[in-house]
Amino acid sequence: MAADEYPKVYLYRRIVHAKLFIDNHYDGAIDLDNIADEALFSKFHFIRLFKRIYGLTPHQYLIHVRIEKAMQLLRNGMPVSDTCFAVGFESLSSFSSLFKRTAGISPTDFTAYHQKIKALVTQKPLGFVPGCFAKANGWH
Amino acid sequence: MAGTKKAIFDKRKKLLLFTFVLYLRQHKRMINKMSHVSIYVLDQDSAYDFYVNKLGFKVATDAAMGPGMRWLTVTPPDQPDLEITLMPIKSGMMFTEESAEQMKNLVKKGTFGFGVFKCNDIYATYEELKAKGVEFSKAPKKEFYGIEALFKDDSGNWFSLGQKEEGEN
């Protein structure tokens, strides 16, 4: 079977293209109608196909990407309010509540927890390496 | 009367023993999970980019272990308790100069296949990874064991990509 012979390749390509667009522009004001237009689908057909492939509607996926990116920035020590706007949210309260719903912990507590882990990794890295590997590499 | 009491006692003893054996079976297995698995890579920075930015894996530990040494592990998004160690091939404690060079050449040649990754939709995953520049040696194809594709990491290690079956975790 050649590379392009699998079912409905053009549909997959358009949906994947839309998903990558969200991945790359999550921090901007994304209009999902425009994405559907760009993918040459009607809005409802687009949402149905996107959900079938990724298990989330495009809007839910956009929120998911923003929260994931926020986690990444918070882990790196960015303040909560800066993170909120950096990932495309316009309201700190909606960011905090969506973050807590997804991560099960508030952005402030998330940051504190990861800063603690980061400090531990820096101070006692051997605590994160299985003993056999540490020994084999001569890390004591 | 004494005989009845003894029979009840024996029955309780058997029940207790049975419960104990069940407990041992459930809680005292010898090996119950894999925590770390290693993939030998040519360059950790490039491997980080491949596994994190292309495959979408999460960084579990990224620790500086001294000059020129780094402990870098990643996990597949739905499997946070299996750390994949991106192990650089360097002469030192684990390799001699000669064996490190041999190992690098073998990895580059695509000698090693390190495992099978699973995704929810193989066609979408294939299209996305291809768009991100991942090299596939086999496009998704229906085999008797399921749909499969093969791809290489940035070092040359190859992996099978399969699609989760209905109801599979």
- The residues pairing with B62 across neighbouring beta strands, listed in sequence order, are B72
For residue A120, the enclosing domain spans 9-136
Q: What is the pLDDT of residues A9-68, one digit of tens each?
A: 888 898 999 999 999 999 988 887 777 777 667 888 889 999 999 999 999 999 999 999
Q: What is the pLDDT of residues B26-44, one digit of tens each?
A: 666 688 899 999 999 999 9
Interface of A with B in 24-83 (CB under 8 A): 53-55
Among B36, B71, B124, whose Cβ lies nearest the Cβ of A125? Answer: B71
Tell me the C-alpha distance between B53 and A42, whole Å. Answer: 31
Q: Is residue A75 in some structural domain?
A: yes
Q: Is residue B143 in some structural domain?
A: yes
Comparing alpha-carbon positions, the chain B residue that sits nearest to A68 is B58
Q: Using the CB atoms, write b or e for B74-107: b if 16+ within 10 Å.
A: bbbeeeeebbbbbbbbbeeebbeeeebeebbeeb
Q: Is residue A1 in some structural domain?
A: no
What is the per-residue pLDDT for A3?
46
Q: Which pair of structure tokens corresponds to residue B73? A: 């592990």
**CATH number of the domain residue B50 falls in:** 3.10.180.10
Tell me the C-alpha distance between B168 and B33, whole Å. Answer: 18
Among A1, A12, A130, whose Cβ lies nearest the Cβ of B36? Answer: A130
User: What stretch of H or E contains B150?
Assistant: strand B146-152
Judged against a pLDDT cut of 90, whether residue B85 lies above it is answered with yes
Q: Is residue A4 in some structural domain?
A: no
Q: Give the pLDDT mean for A97-126.
A: 94
Q: Is residue B132 in some structural domain?
A: yes
Sign of the CA dihedral A85, A87, A88, A89?
Answer: negative
Query: Inter-chain contact A19–B128, Cβ cutoff 8 Å?
Result: yes
Q: Is residue B148 in some structural domain?
A: yes
Query: Inter-chain contact B62–A133, Cβ cutoff 8 Å?
Result: no
DSSP B63-116: EE-STT-EEEEEE-TT-TT-EEEEEE--BTTTB-HHHHHHHHHHHHTT--EEEE
ipTM summary value: 0.84
Q: Is residue A71 in some structural domain?
A: yes
Return the percentage of chain B with pLDDT > 70, whole number: 92
What is the per-residue pLDDT for B167?
57
Q: How many CB pairs under 8 A join A and B?
A: 67
For residue B78, the enclosing domain spans 36-163
Q: Is residue A47 in some structural domain?
A: yes
What is the per-residue pLDDT for B34?
92
The SS3 assignment for B117 reads: strand
Q: Is residue A117 in some structural domain?
A: yes
| Domains held by chain B: number | 1
Q: What is the pLDDT of residues A62-99, one digit of tens each?
A: 999 999 999 999 999 999 999 999 999 999 999 999 99
Comparing alpha-carbon positions, the chain B residue that sits nearest to A17 is B128
Among B93, B136, B140, whose Cβ lies nearest the Cβ of A136? Answer: B93
| Domains held by chain A: number | 1
Q: Is residue A122 in some structural domain?
A: yes
Q: Is residue B7 in some structural domain?
A: no
